[in-house]
Structure formats: structure tokens, C-alpha cells
Structure 1
């Protein structure tokens, strides 16, 4: 499997009238400066930002009206990706610029195809819809962010919660436990599950229809007791006279059932829309009256949310949309209520006409008492006949849908069995053992034996690494975990192996000896055909790495330069549409 290698980053700010361009070499690279506020982390983040990864950039950069272009290669194929706002531009080898209005959707699918990133995740709102997640999920194991990754692994990018419980799927795909074929089968399961969901919805409607029939026409005991042959014979006797009326009555039963079912659904949507409007009203009031400044930090997860004027305006826009939904749904319910009343009136009229026909089967006043008793049982016969006919029809439909549901369940179980066969238990155990062996080896090299490895069974157990050993030793344990994961990814060959970017490995002020050892460890452990980009302060301990690396030294001008604006700005017009 070929590797993704960053070649060049070109950036410009129309607000500052500044620009710059940075080149990268295929093996070791170093972004350095003499202090921590020089822009090392931002420069590394801009590589991912340009490709749609959306790392945490400060609000200052967001105000610079930045556009950027990344040149990268996968094997011998050269690609370019540009970004301005959330608009993405892609140029494939020997191709023209392709424009995408947003990162999610088509762009994510194309980027996943280029990088062979076949993982799919279910949409939060519609779980039977599988999506190619944005590039951030591809870059997760290849980027160690200074602020997020050293305290929590698999957390290099914010806003990952757009998918529920994504961690297991993404980690297992990266590390080879889930193959691309797994998701081909998963798509079949999702499609059949959607069919099952629709069938279950139909069954609920049918159950409602049966209840409506029972409510409007009680079943005649004698009719129910009839055998099928008796029922058919009696039906034939009155078929000529009531066939049209019976058809009308059945249609009215169906309409009433559908109206009631749809009204229940719309009422549920209306309640949700009213709740959403009320919550958005509270959100806007809170953002205006209770939050100082243009940022809000979530007290639960620590995520920084935008509280700027445009963001608050978007809350009002969402509330307007919710209010519009309330108005629309209320109007639909009102129309249904009118339709329901009209259907009931038609049903009353039809039943009156059927009553006229019923009178034909009543005994004359001069009939004998025994005959009168016998004939009086026919009074409600036609009602029971109509009810029986409707129930037979809907029962056949229900049986068909129920059989479909059972068949889908059997199919899905067979597909799940096929997924399990893609990775036999013996192979999975070998992969677990190899991961633990590499992790233990790296722990020893980094002198982090204080980290307790006993609860670690696979790469999924990353949360169990925290809280053991001292702060500096724990950090080296996390680095050992990252490298063990990268080794597993490189071995699995499930996807294009990306360039690895590690932001400031000198966390928790490692002792000088250990810091040098960490850098040497990285040089020895990163796959020999992979690109490594390190961000580190310019100090003597990085000397050995610096000698082997292509160095980008940032100065007090930081990342952008006014003198280079005219030189590089023209490169960022992309398809001349912006």
C-alpha cells in the first residue's frame, strides 16, 4: 500500500495581505522555533485543516480569512487540495479542479476513495444510513496534537461526536480487525434493515386499521362462527346488492385508519418541533445573557464552542425553522381533522344505505315468532360481513409483512456470520498478541515500566493506559501506544499510510536524556517508508534529529509574511471561482 506524503503547503490571508509557502521532504521534517508562541502547532494543523481535518485552530486564525493549498502524493500520484472556508477544491492527477460545497458528503467520499479509507459510520439521526466519515477520522492515528492527544488518545480533532460510538469501528478498521469487505456487508445489512423498518411501520398501520374496524363495526358472533364455505355462500347471496356499498365502506375504514395513523405521527413531530423551538429560545437567551465573550467551554467535555454573533444568529435561524415546522405541522393536522370528519360523515351515510338493505332480511310483522327470531339475527349480518372482509384483507397483508421481517432477520444473521468469518478468532488473537508484544517492547525502550500493561489486551484498551506511572512516564507510555498502533496500521495495509505528525513530544518536561531517547525512538520506530513531521522547540536535545531532518525554522514573523503575498496569492484561486 503506498503512503501519503505532504509536499508543500501554501497559505494566504486576504485580511492581513500576507502569505507564505512551506516545503516538506519525504522522510524526516522538523518545525521549530525559539519559543512556544511562534506558530509551530498552527503550521502543522493547517496541513490537516486544508485537507478537511478541522483541528482546533484559535479564533485569531479564523478571523484571518485564510485560504490554503496542500500538494501531496500517494505513491507516484500527485494531488492538490485547496480550502477556503468550508469549500473544498480537489485536483487529481492530470485532472481539473473539482469543487465541493462542504467537507461532509461527496468530498468525504472522494477523499476516502483516494486514501482507501473504507470505514463507514451510521448517521446519528438515521442509523440505517451509512456514511464515509470526514477526513479527521482517517488522520486520527497519524496526528498527535499537543493540547489534546497527550491527555486522551484518539482525540486529535474536535467535533468527532457527530457520530455516536465511533471509536470501536474506526480503531478496528485502522488496525486491521475490520476489513473493507466488512463494510460492503454492512451496507447490505443497513439496506435490509431499512426494509425491515418500513415493514414494521406497515404492520403498525395494519394493527391500527384492525382496531378501527373493531371500534366501528363490532364483529357478529354468528358471522365469526361461520366456516369458510358458509361465509363464502352467504357473501354471494348479498354480493349483488351490497358490493358497491361494501367497497365504499371498506375504503372509508382504510381512510380513517390512515388518517388516524398519520395524525399520531404528525402530532409526535409537532411535539418535537415545539420542544426544539423552546430549547433554542433558551439557548439564545443563555448565549446572550449568561455568556461573556465569544467562546463557551462545555463543562462536561471541555469542547470550545463558538458564541460569536454569527453563531447566535444561527440559533435564531434554527428557531425560526422550528417555528415554521410547528406552523406547517399544525396546518397539516388541521386538514387531517377536517378529512377525518368528512370520512365519518360519509361512513354514516353509507351505513344508512346498508341499513336499508338490511331491512330486506328482516321478518315481516306477520311472521311466526320462531321465524322472527331467526331472521332478526340477520339485522347486523351485513355489518359483520363487511368487518370480516376487511379483517381478512388486512390480516393477509400483515402475514406478508411479518414473513418479510422474519426473512430479513434470517438474512441479517447470515450476513453477520459472514462478517465474523472475515477475521477468524485465531487470527484476531495473533493480532492482539502482536500488539501487546510491540507495546511492551516500546515501553521498555522508553523506560516507562511504571505503566501498568496488565489490563491492555488490544488497541481498543487505550483508556486503561491513563493513571499509571508518573506524569512524564505516563506520557512516554502514551507515545508507546501510538507507535504500537501505527505499527499495526502499517502491517494491516487496510488504507494509505499517512504522514505522521507529532506535536511537541517533550511533554511533562522529560529529562534531557529521556527526551533525546524519545526522538531517537521515533526515528527508529516510524516505518522506514513513512514521512515524519515533528514540532519541537529549538534546543540542544533535538540536535540528532535536526541533523537528519528537513528544518522549517519559524521566526518572530510567525507563519505569514507580507512580502510574499503577491507571490503566492495567485496560486490560491483554484478554479477561479473565488
Structure 2
């Protein structure tokens, strides 16, 4: 947590065309004031601006204001401006040049890709919906450091919205923040889940191929090949006739060769003359 410091926060209301800027000093800051002047909303807005949604930020009164946020933070010694409007985020450097833009929080391309990477918080937990791994967003990193008056006072480690998307998130986060299970454990857990999913996929392919093979073997054993000569009588007769014709031609050619006189000089001369004459 020492790597992140809030420096300033802007809250802008699209409906009221009004804005409020609050600056924070280095060290400890204390907010004082009467009830219902916005102390809790200000603290909620700090976390909300960087992707950690606190309860009651979507109540009817606040939603009517249509607020968006800009927080100036120091993160690992570097200054950033993060703008949030609904589910959309923009990250800017100290010179206010855009570094990246994000949609959503823990989804692919969400603000967690920036915040959690900077905090070296790359934890993936099992989703309650399907048991697959999903990235834990900034709220899970800030759990030990914030107690929300609307939720955290009545139930421990419940100060942010959306925590129930993962099974056993309390146990996992307590063990992580206490150092019982460090980042390396979750890295290994991710690899294990990837291997299990790959094995399951290969097993599914194997089952499909086994079923196809069994079906083929069953069908091939039932195929009866007909070798009845009567079914091919006409084709066989045609082949026999063709064979007999070729056999007769062969015998006739052999007979003619046998009737030829022995070869000699005079015969060769006559043959050559005949061939010469035929060319003319």
C-alpha cells in the first residue's frame, strides 16, 4: 500500500455542471464535518476512481448527478492522472499525455491491467459462476486498508462491491495479505488450472475419437461383400471375349512370323531396296 498515494481528486457532475476538487497532504489526512456533508462519499470516490467500487456509489441520488472522476496519484514514485466515466478509464502521465485507455475493471483490457500490474498484484481466483480463473481487481488489493461504513462494519472484508464473484475470496485474500500464500503460490495455481483445462480438452477429443472408432468398427463388421459371379456375368463374359480376341491375334501374329524364310544377304538387299524405294 505504501506504493500508492492520493494527491488530488476531482468530482464533476454532468447534470449540475459543477465540480469539486480536493487536495490531500503527504502523511495522514483527517476529514471532519457534520453528517451528510459527503465525507464518506469522498472516501468512496477515491477508491471508485481507480476501479475499486465501494457500496452505495450507485444509489439513486448519486446516479442522478452523473458524476465522473479524475484522481491524481503517486504510484511507485511516478505521478499519474486516472479519469473514470462509468466503466471507461483513461490513464495519463504527469504531463497529462494519455498512456492507455481501459473498459471495465477485471475484464480483459480493464483498468486492473494498469493498477494491479503497478502494484505487482497479479492474483487470479476461481469464479463463482463457472470455476474458471479470473483476475482479482484493485478492490481485492485494498481490502485490508479500507472499512466501509455501509458494509465493512457489519461484515469483515466486505467493504467493496463485486467481491462475491470469486469463491472463498476472504480466505484467499487473508492468506495473501498475511504472506501465508505469496504471489508465487497463485502463479503455480494458475498453471495447475491451465494444465487441468488442457487435460480436460484432450480427454474430450479422445472421447470423441473413441466413439467414432467404435461406430466405424461396429458398422464395418456388419458390411457383407457380395462375390456372386452371377451378379457380374455380363462383365465377365465381355472380359473373356476380349481375352479370346487378343489371344487369337497373338496366335495369328506368331504364325506369320514362323512362316517367314530365313534371313540372308539377298533378302536383306531386297528389303533395303524396297524400303529405299518406298521412301521415294
The answer to whether TM tops 0.5 is: yes
Deviation digits for residues 529-556 of structure 1 (CA, Å, limit 9, x no counterpart): xxxxxxxxxxxxxxxxxxxxxxxxxxxx
| Distance 1:80-1:31 versus aligned 2 partners, 3 A rule | same
Q: Does the aligned pair in 2 maintain the 1:12–1:67 contact within 8 Å?
A: yes
Deviation digits for residues 456-486 of structure 1 (CA, Å, limit 9, x no counterpart): xxxxxxxxxxxxxxxxxxxxxxxxxxxxxxx
Q: Does the aligned pair in 2 maintain the 1:88–1:99 contact within 8 Å?
A: yes
Structure 2 residue aligned with 1:14: 14
The alignment status of 1:196 with 2:195, answered yes or no, reads no
In 2, Cα distance between equivalents of 1:187 and 1:93: 35
| Distance 1:92-1:200 versus aligned 2 partners, 3 A rule | farther
Query: How far did residue 3 of structure 1 move?
Result: 2.8
Equivalences, count: 224
Structure 1 residue aligned with 2:69: 68
Query: How far did residue 46 of structure 1 move?
Result: 0.5
In 2, Cα distance between equivalents of 1:93 and 1:116: 21
Query: How far did residue 20 of structure 1 move?
Result: 0.8
Deviation digits for residues 377-431 of structure 1 (CA, Å, limit 9, x no counterpart): xxxxxxxxxxxxxxxxxxxxxxxxxxxxxxxxxxxxxxxxxxxxxxxxxxxxxxx
Task: Provide TM-score, normalisation by structure 1.
Answer: 0.36
Structure 1 residue aligned with 2:4: 4
In 2, Cα distance between equivalents of 1:157 and 1:4: 18
Q: Does the aligned pair in 2 maintain the 1:109–1:132 contact within 8 Å?
A: no
Q: Does the aligned pair in 2 maintain the 1:112–1:132 contact within 8 Å?
A: no
Structure 1 residue aligned with 2:122: 118
Higher helix share: 1
* Greater RCO (CA < 8 Å, at least 6 residues apart): 1
In 1, Cα distance between equivalents of 2:117 and 2:49: 18
Q: Does the aligned pair in 2 maintain the 1:8–1:22 contact within 8 Å?
A: yes
Query: After the TM superposition, which residues 260-299 of structure 1 pair with which residues of structure 2 at under 5 Å, given as runs?
Result: none
Query: How far did residue 95 of structure 1 move?
Result: 7.3
Q: Does the aligned pair in 2 maintain the 1:119–1:173 contact within 8 Å?
A: no
In 2, Cα distance between equivalents of 1:190 and 1:109: 21
Query: After the TM superposition, which residues 75-474 of structure 1 pair with which residues of structure 2 at under 5 Å, given as runs?
Result: 75-92=76-93, 96-97=97-98, 98-104=100-106, 105-106=108-109, 107-124=111-128, 127-128=131-132, 130-213=133-216, 215-217=218-220, 351=223, 355-357=225-227, 359=228
Q: RMSD of aligned C-alpha atoms? A: 2.3
In 2, Cα distance between equivalents of 1:109 and 1:182: 20
Name the SS of the counterpart of 2:32 in structure 1.
Answer: strand
In 1, Cα distance between equivalents of 2:129 and 2:154: 30
Query: How far did residue 75 of structure 1 move?
Result: 4.0
Structure 1 residues not aligned, in runs of 5+: 220-350, 361-578
Task: Provide TM-score, normalisation by structure 2.
Answer: 0.72
Name the SS of the counterpart of 2:194 in structure 1.
Answer: helix
Q: Does the aligned pair in 1 maintain the 2:128–2:164 contact within 8 Å?
A: no
Query: How far did residue 12 of structure 1 move?
Result: 0.7
In 2, Cα distance between equivalents of 1:172 and 1:121: 13
Q: Does the aligned pair in 1 maintain the 2:81–2:96 contact within 8 Å?
A: no
| Distance 1:88-1:40 versus aligned 2 partners, 3 A rule | same
Deviation digits for residues 261-303 of structure 1 (CA, Å, limit 9, x no counterpart): xxxxxxxxxxxxxxxxxxxxxxxxxxxxxxxxxxxxxxxxxxx
In 1, Cα distance between equivalents of 2:199 and 2:93: 40
Q: Does the aligned pair in 2 maintain the 1:16–1:64 contact within 8 Å?
A: yes
The alignment status of 1:28 with 2:31, answered yes or no, reads no
In 1, Cα distance between equivalents of 2:127 and 2:226: 57
Structure 1 residue aligned with 2:44: 45
In 2, Cα distance between equivalents of 1:124 and 1:75: 33
| Distance 1:93-1:131 versus aligned 2 partners, 3 A rule | farther
Structure 2 residue aligned with 1:379: none
| Distance 1:122-1:96 versus aligned 2 partners, 3 A rule | farther
In 2, Cα distance between equivalents of 1:75 and 1:25: 17
In 2, Cα distance between equivalents of 1:100 and 1:75: 20
Higher strand share: 2
Query: How far did residue 126 of structure 1 move?
Result: 5.2
